[in-house]
Structure 1
Amino acid sequence: MKKASLFLAGFLLLAGCSDDEATKEPAESAGTEEEPEIAVEQEGMTEEGFITQIGNGRILINSIYFSVPEDVEVQFAEGGETTEAVISDLRTGMKVKTDYTGPLAESYPMQGEADKITILQDEESKRQTDALQAFINEEQLSDLIILGQPLVRGEEIGFLFSKMETGELTEVRIDMNTLEYTLSNEENEEETDETEDAEE
């Protein structure tokens, strides 16, 4: 009888220990589930693109407005070398790389704050900048939003853009040698299709 009692007591003791272990495991796994929430801060984000608006203490790069604090770091970069620059060196049409801390405000355009702005001065970036500046000046565009990343094919740079006032979506292709460009949008394509149908 004593043996049976000792066996039962030992069994209950083991069962109690295993219950303790079982309750510890969920607590540990619950702790690991919280870790991704900390990573949502999105530090060290970068946006590369073209400045299409400057004013009121902010710049528009692609489809993101970045506020530019007075103490923001600005630099020129050519190859691996960088030199100091200032906010007043920024120009519409310039190709830049902007470092910022996310997340961005959910608006259109999205909004964030620039930590560092690097003006790209390599030969290819300069050619792209010249082409975009010539296009903006010729078309007198002051509210241009570039959608996505511009594509470079050979000697041509192309991208989709919209005007803030109208929201009209247009594609432009600019020859980086001659600075000549062609525009096309959905309305033009529809008119072309209608003309071709009428001719047939």
Structure 2
Amino acid sequence: MRNFTLVSVLILFLMLALAGCSSFGQADLTKAKTGYITDIDDQRILVNDTYFTASSNVKVVSDTGKRMNFSDLDIGVQVEPWFDGAIRESFPAQADVKKIVVIVDKDDKQVQDAVKAIVEYSEANYGKPVVFQASKRTEELFEATIAGLTLENPNPVTIRYDFATQQIEVE
């Protein structure tokens, strides 16, 4: 009986140890800074200063738990990317995204329109990619500071979008 108890304890301990070594799941993922998508193609999104490359099995969900698809994403959508592995150093940086949480807000459409307008203005006047270094929203406007990306425009630029007039203002 004593040998049976000892074997049972050892098996239980081994099972717990192996369960803790599992490399599948969110526990191994790193949460990146929440931000707005400013560029998107079939397999990647640009959020803040990082391109996140998605595999075909990337998990996309809303912050309310609703399952979504990568094809539901668009410029201006606020997301929280989760990635694994190292961030590859470049500008913008690069990482492999495993999970994308879409932040749902009552003002989604208004903010998404503002981000799209700022991205369109920035691409036309400063080039691609449009890298948001900072952003903030007030009742009246959405403001984004974009990174300077060219020799002609090496310094960050702050761009405001007025919700009432739908006009762009550059600081």
Larger Rg: 1
CA contact (8 A) 1:47 1:99 kept: no
Inter-CA distance 138–105: structure 2 relative to 1 (3 Å threshold): closer
Aligned residues: 140
Query: Hey, what does 2:112 align to over in structure 1?
Result: 129
1:109 aligns with 2:109: no
Equivalent position to 2:69, from 86, 105, 109: 86
CA deviation after TM superposition for structure 1 residue 129, in Å: 1.4
Match of 1:25 in 2: none
The Cα of 1:139 is off from its aligned counterpart by 5.8
Offset of residue 174 of structure 1: 1.0
> 1:1-200 residue pairs with structure 2 within 5 A?
43-55=29-41, 57-77=43-63, 81-137=64-120, 141=124, 143-162=128-147, 164=149, 168=153, 169-184=156-171
Q: 1:90 to 1:166 in 2, by over 3 A?
A: farther
- Percent identity over the alignment is 24
Q: 120-129 or 55-64, which moves further after superposition?
A: 120-129
Cα-Cα RMSD? 2.5
Amino acid at match of 2:89: E
Can you give the 5+ residue segments of structure 2 that lack an aligned partner in the other structure?
1-27
Deviation at 1:153, TM superposition (A): 3.1
CA distance in 2, matches of 1:46, 1:138: 26
Equivalent pair of 1:53/1:92 in contact (CA under 8 Å):
yes
**TM-score, with length taken from structure 2:** 0.69
Letter in 2 for 1:170: V
Per-residue deviation, 1:159: 1.5
Distance 1:67 1:146, change over 3 A: same
CA drift of 1:56 comes to 5.4
Task: State the distance in 2 between where 1:167 and 1:62 align.
Answer: 22
